A and B are shown apart, each in its own frame.
Chain A
Amino acid sequence: MSVFSPATRDRFERLAASYPQARSALVPMLLYAQDELGYLPPEAIAEIAALLGETELAVREVIGYYSMLRTAPAGRYHVQVCTNISCMLRGGEEILGHCQRRLGIHNRQTTPDGMFSIEEVECMGACAWAPALQVNYDFHQELDPAKVDEILEKYRRQG
């Protein structure tokens, strides 16, 4: 039994075959696995390791290196706030503080209903439109507290 959907499993097989060496598919596979499952549980790690003919230890070492990969669940909406220089100069730290107060959680925590988590992150390539945050993969830019409230509310309603 696979922990992945048939479509994802298919995609993994195609991915592994599309590089000169199958192991090259590891990082993308881990990220796509996380997209589907919300995080990387031991079963997913074991299955990916088997697919690529690698040890689970080798896969875990790779997971530990990349900041986007996680082995524990985050909120359904993972709010990543940039406080690096271009954002800091335009209020990124205030935006982070505002998110924390609104959601009642600190950095790297998840709301009790599992809806939101917060992470302070490094530059996300939105410097000229700072301050910026990403909710999962979606960029939100030129933020102020009111705009942040609207954004969080939209996700909350989306459920």
Chain B
Amino acid sequence: MAERPAYPAAHPAEVRVVSQRFGDPRAATLAGYLDTGGYQALGKALGLNGGEAMAPEAIIEEVKKSSLRGRGGAGFPTGLKWSFIPKGGDKPKYVLCNADESEPGTCKDRLILEYDPFAIIEGITIAGRAIGAQRGFIYIRGEYRYVLDIMQRALAEAYAAGYLGANIRGSGFSFDILAHTGAGAYECGEESALMESLEGKRGIPRLKPPFPAISGLYGCPTVINNVETLASVPPIILRGGDWFLNIGLPKNGGPRLFSLSGQVRNRGVYELPLGFPLRRLIEEVGGGVLGGSLKAVVPGGSSTPIFTAEEALGLNLDYDSVGKAGSFLGSGGVVVINDRTCMVKFALRVMQFYRHESCGWCVPCREGTNWLQLALTRFHRGDGRPEDVDLFTDVAQNILGRTLCPLGDAAAMPILSIVRKFRSEFEDHLHGRPCPFAAESSAVPVA
């Protein structure tokens, strides 16, 4: 009796590349995938359709040309990442697909996994060919059990039809993929923690360097990419890097998926060209703010610094523009907040999350998130002291850049931006006054 998300027809502003098969129930079967252009890219890469096989370097070159950047959070150029894998060597190489999707505000990979599992399989296989790997793993968060089932059925079909395994479709190239379940831990989405977890350990991140390209899974050269990144690869190989690049902006190739959530009318997952104005996403695609007027927007998942309404409405959604404005495009999770929502409460809920997810290894992250959660709880209740507001900033500053993995920064950045941009709301909670927004919940119920 599980519910599957429904997919409305594409909004006219959308450019559907990785979402081209969303809503099509047949796409998760091999026959349906093949009918809709599936496996033509692998055919081209391996020379299965009469043409000559592409050299691994040519595959990487095409991905570089596309300016595809990672869709998992950091936005690193994918082709460049692949080119860091040393050629030759006697260690096996691995491709990891990061399907741990757990950045609050993000619900896009779930759709690709559910509706287009073969696109991910094809993308991983092409990546494997490009870097000289023979094995790939798909690390799926434990809560996505039905998605794991879908992926396992797809893998079995791909094996049965010779699209995986030894000597794929007579090409001489052999490649295996295993789908692997996590068991609940946001931290395991961080690449080195994911590798630890896949090795059967706790997901404590590793010290870097060495980077995964040199020493990743089992100490071997490893490429790790997000689901959406890998699903973008087949269309790039098939239609060319230039085609993909031209959908977006220079250095920001292609469209990408945005998860639109919060207090906005038409929530959903939309595939829009990079550089798309945030104002249009909220007003035109999203149908406008619900329950009040716009107060703030989280641009790329809960760890990315927040924008005020004014900042948000002038912003374009590409990596460089959002970066220049002081935040990150992150995972593409856009969260819309109306003016009846208490930002102290919002900051508190975000901090509760990071405190829960901190693995406790580094003192600044463990102690900082713990203290901030307790202090924000007290503060929100009306028991704050005037000096607390600056203390929030000091404590967060002391986490920033002082931890083993970027979760520490992810915890510090939102609170820093919220205190800076909504300081008056913190001051409104002082002097024994309870939360001015508390009289009624600002939550907008589902219509």
Q: Contacts A85-B105, A137-B2 given; indicate if A144 touches B445 (C-beta within 8 A).
A: yes
Known contacts A90-B444, A90-B446, A122-B353, A62 near B202 by CB under 8 Å: yes
A134 and B267 alpha carbons, distance in the complex (Å):
20
A128 touching B260 in the complex, CB below 8 Å, given contacts A62-B202, A66-B142, A122-B356 = yes
Q: Which of A18, A27, A65, A125 contacts B181 (CB 8 A)?
A: A27
The answer on a CB contact under 8 Å between B349 and A84 is: yes
Q: Which of B135, B145, B183, B302 is A84 in contact with, Cβ under 8 Å?
A: B302
- Residues of chain A within 8 A of B268, CB atoms compared: 128
CB of A88 within 8 Å of the partner chain: yes
Cβ-based interface call for A30 (8 A): yes
Contacts of B162 in A (CB 8 A): none
Does A105 lie at the interface of the complex (its beta carbon under 8 Å from any beta carbon of B)?
Answer: no
Most buried by B among A94, A127, A144: A127
Are A65 and B202 touching (Cβ within 8 A)?
Answer: yes
**In whole angstroms, how far apart are the Cα atoms of A91 and B201 in the complex?**
36
- CB of B434 within 8 A of chain A? no
What residues of B have a CB within 8 angstroms of the CB of A88 in the complex?
346, 349, 443
Chain A residue with minimal CB distance to B147? A125
The stretch among B77-85, B317-325, B333-341, B424-432 that forms the contact with chain A is: B333-341
Decide yes or no whether A140 CB sits under 8 A from chain B: yes
- Partner of A86 from the list B1, B101, B186, B261 (CB cut-off 8 Å) is B261
Contact indicator B444/A141 (Cβ below 8 Å):
no
Which residues from A are CB-within-8-Å of B333? 86, 127
B110-A125 in contact (CB<8A): yes
Please determine whether B103 and A123 come into contact, CB atoms closer than 8 angstroms: yes
| Bound Cα distance A125, B148 (Å) | 14
Q: How far is the CA of A130 from the CA of B186 in the complex (A)?
A: 19
Q: How far is the CA of A138 from the CA of B2 in the complex (A)?
A: 4
Report if B357 contacts A (CB, 8 A): yes
A126 to chain B, nearest CB (A): 6
Neighbour of A27 across the interface among B92, B103, B110, B200, CB < 8 A: B200
Digitize A115-159: 1 where CB-to-B-CB distance is under 8 Å, 0 elsewhere: 000000011111111110010011111111000000000100000
Q: Are A128 and B349 in contact (CB under 8 A)?
A: no
Q: Which of A126, A128, A144 has the most CB of B within 10 A?
A: A128
On whether the beta carbons of A93 and B356 are closer than 8 Å, the reply is: no
Check: A38 CB closer than 8 A to any chain B CB: no
- On whether the beta carbons of B183 and A91 are closer than 8 Å, the reply is no
Contact call B106/A127, Cβ cutoff below 8 A? yes
B199 on interface, CB distance cutoff 8 Å: yes
Q: Which of B4, B145, B184, B262 contacts A66 (CB 8 A)?
A: B184
CB-CB contacts of B289-317 with A at 8 A, as 1s and 0s?
Answer: 00000000010001000000000000000
Contacts of B298 in A (CB 8 A): 85
**Bound complex: CA A154 to CA B261 (Å):** 28
> Are the C-beta atoms of A89 and B335 separated by less than 8 Å?
yes
Contact A126/B349 with A67-B184, A93-B443 known, Cβ cut-off 8 Å: no
Say whether B197 faces chain A, with CB atoms less than 8 Å apart: yes
Q: Is B374 an interface residue (CB 8 A)?
A: no
Known: A27-B182, A28-B181. A89 touches B198 (CB 8 A): no
B135, B144, B180: the one contacting A125 at CB < 8 Å is B144
Is A21's CB within 8 Å of the partner chain B? yes
Asked whether any CB of chain A lies closer than 8 Å to the CB of B47, the reply is no
In the complex, chain B residues 212-244 whose Cβ is within 8 Å of any chain A Cβ: 218
Q: Which of B177-198 contact A (CB under 8 A)?
A: 178, 180-186, 197-198
The one of A18, A69, A83, A127 in contact with B107, judged by C-beta atoms closer than 8 angstroms, is A127
Contact, CB under 8 Å: A128 / B5: yes
Q: Which residues of B lie under 8 Å from residue A93 when comparing CB positions?
A: 441, 443
Q: Are A123 and B146 in contact (CB under 8 A)?
A: no
Contact check, A26 vs B200: say whether CB atoms are below 8 A apart.
Answer: yes
B64-118, CB < 8 A from A = 92, 101-107, 109-110
The answer to whether A89 touches B185 (Cβ under 8 A) is no
Interface string of A57-98 (1 = CB under 8 A from B): 000011011111100000000000001111011111110000
Can you list 21 contacts pairing A with B, beta carbon distance less than 8 Å? A18-B178, A20-B218, A21-B218, A24-B199, A25-B200, A31-B183, A66-B142, A67-B183, A67-B184, A85-B346, A86-B104, A93-B441, A122-B104, A123-B302, A125-B102, A125-B110, A127-B107, A127-B333, A137-B145, A141-B3, A144-B445
Extra contacts besides A25-B200, A88-B346, A94-B441 (12): CB < 8 Å = A27-B182, A31-B181, A84-B302, A85-B104, A85-B105, A90-B262, A90-B445, A125-B102, A128-B259, A128-B261, A129-B267, A140-B3
Binding site for B on A (CB under 8 A): 18-21, 23-28, 30-31, 52, 61-62, 64-69, 83-86, 88-94, 122-131, 134, 137-144, 154
